[in-house]
Structure 1
């Protein structure tokens, strides 16, 4: 009468044993996954709430994504037009607005000898679109400049440009 159980004559086919083992593993994995949230403190669970979408960016002359830049170069080729001292009032999923100064070279008598003149301006970025080559990133594709005093000649006081960078 040793401590051994009697041998049975019934043998379970291999495919049934494999299927049973697979189902048991799957059930164990589901049970373990269901237990994890209960072990997480309530404060940590609220921290896992869906995050706000990524901010829309404005792409600069060097193909760098910017959010609320203090300066923005408008004339990429020669640097003769730059927005400076930008103060952003808003930066949203559809538009961004700021006030600042547009520093424009008057190019008189020619650009290398010209002087930079300051023009107060209201800036609006708009028309977000997907940024090619950067999945899940939206970029503004339009910039509106509304000069609050005089505009640099021959530009009108309200002008909109496409951002193509």
Structure 2
């Protein structure tokens, strides 16, 4: 009799009451409007490719923030960008401020990136800088 009561109780509960629907982690949207989770590299300068985060090692990736260490490769553009050299700058990266990603129902995307240079930053960049990530997929 107890087994029958237990079976009825279990059958009467909706699946959502026993198993909450997991919310997928936010993505970071790249220059090509592709959502990524824990990318190894991330292009910051979409127009000319003169600034790229490389060798990213993600310490966390959660619903509110993601943090990584890596290297910011920055072109010095001397005497001009095509003839410039890339220089490495160790950096801690923090993604934050997840917002709904337009035209991707149920997907959040990080909208802010903070770079904290652990040694000397590239001139004239401050040691701690925050940028808005505004790469959006065009309307179909």
Whole-angstrom distance in 2 between the partners of 1:132 and 1:50: 25
Partner Cα separation in structure 1 for residue 21 and residue 91 of structure 2: 33
The 1-side partners of 2:21 and 2:104 are apart by: 20
Deviation at 1:51, TM superposition (A): 4.3
Q: Give the structure-1-normalised TM-score.
A: 0.71
Aligned twin of 2:52: 82
Report Cα offsets for 1:57-104 as digits up to 9, x if no partner.
Answer: 000000000000000000000000000000000001000000000000
SS at match of 1:121: strand
Q: Which has the higher contact order (CA 8 A, sep 6+)?
A: 2
1:130 equivalent in alignment to 2:100: yes
The separation in 1 between residues aligned to 2:76 and 2:99, in whole angstroms, is: 33
- In 1, Cα distance between the equivalents of 2:26 and 2:87? 30
- Name stretches of at least 5 consecutive residues in structure 1 with no aligned partner: 1-33, 39-44
Question: Are positions 1:58 and 2:28 aligned together?
Answer: yes
In the aligned structure 2, how far is the partner of 1:72 from the partner of 1:107?
20
Residue 115 (1) aligns with residue 81 (2): no
Q: Which has the larger radius of gyration?
A: 1
Work out whether 1:104 is the aligned partner of 2:74: yes
Distance in 1 separating the partners of 2:34 and 2:50: 20
Q: What secondary structure is seen at the aligned counterpart in 2 of 1:112? A: helix
Which residue pairs with 1:10 in the alignment?
none
How many residue pairs end up in the alignment?
A: 123
Q: 2:36 & 2:43 partners in 1: Cα distance?
A: 12
CA RMSD, Structure 1 to Structure 2 (Å): 1.7
| Structure 2 residue ranges without an equivalent (≥5) | 1-6, 136-140
1:4-56: CA deviation from partner (whole Å, max 9, x where unpaired): xxxxxxxxxxxxxxxxxxxxxxxxxxxxxx99x77xxxxxx9xx833421110
